[in-house]
Structure 1
Amino acid sequence: MARKKTITKLQILNAAYEVVRTEGFGGFTARNIAKKMKCSTQPIYLEFKNMDDLKNELFEKIKNYLKQEVYSNEHTGDALLDACINYIQFADKEKVLFRALYIENHLGIEKMHKISLDFAMRLMEENEDTKNLSKEDKFELFTKIWIVAQGIASLISSGLLPMNEEDIESNLRDALSDMILGARYSK
């Protein structure tokens, strides 16, 4: 009679996420994940071909988390501004995970950048002030927004720039307004 499987793929994925969330990718080892689950490494290798396979599935979990739980929270009613605020709040609240994803580049900077780019491009398609911009102008606008949001997020996450929520919103609102205005009238 075969042994009943007691540890699922989802449990392993959740444990891997918690390890990365609290320790960064320095702790992303089969041994650490198994320790988190209080089991041997065997279930990990039964469910995943190798650690790269687990890392790829972890990326999908993180991508969904960012889209559904981080970027989508409403603060101001301006979805583009809210996405920037959410990104900065994520950097402040989840310092280790933020660093692992956006500073240390463990999942691939292109893949992480694409999540933010795709989300922002969709928001710009829906925004009255940006929907009529060309794709190139939207990309250029995203790049400018990304530089500001990433800069503030990195500085806050590292403790170099203490800002309250009102200051973050005010600075972002001013920067976005100037950038959008510039994008609309530069051509």
Structure 2
Amino acid sequence: MRHKVYTREHILKAAYELIEKNGFTNFTARNVAAQMGVSTQPIYLEFANMEDLKQTLIKEIFDDVSKKVFSVEHTGDKLIDISINYVNFAQKNPRLFMAMYLDEKGGGRAMYDHSYVFFKETILQEEEYKDLTEAYIEALFHGTWITITGLAALMLAKVVVPTRQQTIAIIENSVNAILESNYEDNNLSNGSK
């Protein structure tokens, strides 16, 4: 009699489906196994523990989203495009967005870290941003991240419902304010005005 083999990909798919429906609140080996209709044994044969499965899943989701979602061009400015795509992702995948970016038990910190690396690599390809210092890039990322996460969360809650142009204007204003603020801070700290 042949036994069905559950590969790493099967387990990751079931884990993805589980968090897409319920977030990370009930992310247990039992629940992932139940999603697959098997015992927990295949999970522990493929992954060292649930944290290993979780971190692998977060990385796979981020890689998939960065290729299929964050890379879509809208304005020609990669920084603005990443921001628009992040807000769009939240609107189209609210449960997954909340699980991956807002859930304290979920991907929050890991997604933040992956996003920073992607953000930095992407904007350094732009002529306008290629000479920014590490401190500038960090400030730009943090400020933009706060703006777009807040905007996405408020839009999900239907507290604000901006048009596409208003969304772009909010993002552009935020980016410009961050760039100007850091420019002034750098000039003041260098003794120039």
Q: TM-score range by the shorter chain?
A: 0.7 to 0.9
How many residues of Structure 1 are paired with residues of Structure 2 in the alignment?
A: 186
Where does the alignment leave 5 or more consecutive residues of structure 1 unmatched? none
Matches within 5 A, 1:37-186: 37-107=36-106, 109-184=108-183, 186=185
When residues 9 and 68 of structure 1 are mapped into structure 2, their CA distance, relative to the original with a 3 A threshold, is same
Q: What does the per-residue CA deviation read over 1:20-43, in whole Å, with 9 as the maximum and x for residues that have no partner? A: 012101232223222322333332
Displacement of 1:182 in angstroms is 4.0
CA displacement 1:49-71 (0-9 Å, x = unmatched): 32222112112212212321221
Measured in 2, the distance between the counterparts of 1:117 and 1:75 equals 20
1:107 Cα offset (Å): 4.1
Partner Cα distance (1:142, 1:51) in 2: 30
TM-score scaled by length of structure 1: 0.86
- Report the secondary structure of 1:106's partner residue: coil
Task: Tell me the TM-score normalised to structure 2 length.
Answer: 0.84
Report the Cα distance in structure 1 between the residues aligned to 2:42 and 2:108, rounded to whole angstroms.
30
Structure 2: where are the runs of 5+ without partners?
A: 188-193
Instruction: Judge conservation of contact 2:124–2:130 (CA < 8 Å) in 1.
Output: yes
Pairwise CA RMSD: 2.2
User: CA separation in 2, counterparts of 1:98 and 1:154?
Assistant: 9
Instruction: Show CA shifts across 1:77-105 (max 9, x none).
Output: 11110100111111112111211222222
Closer/same/farther in 2, CA of residues 98 and 108 from structure 1, 3 Å limit:
closer
Percentage of pairs with the same residue: 37
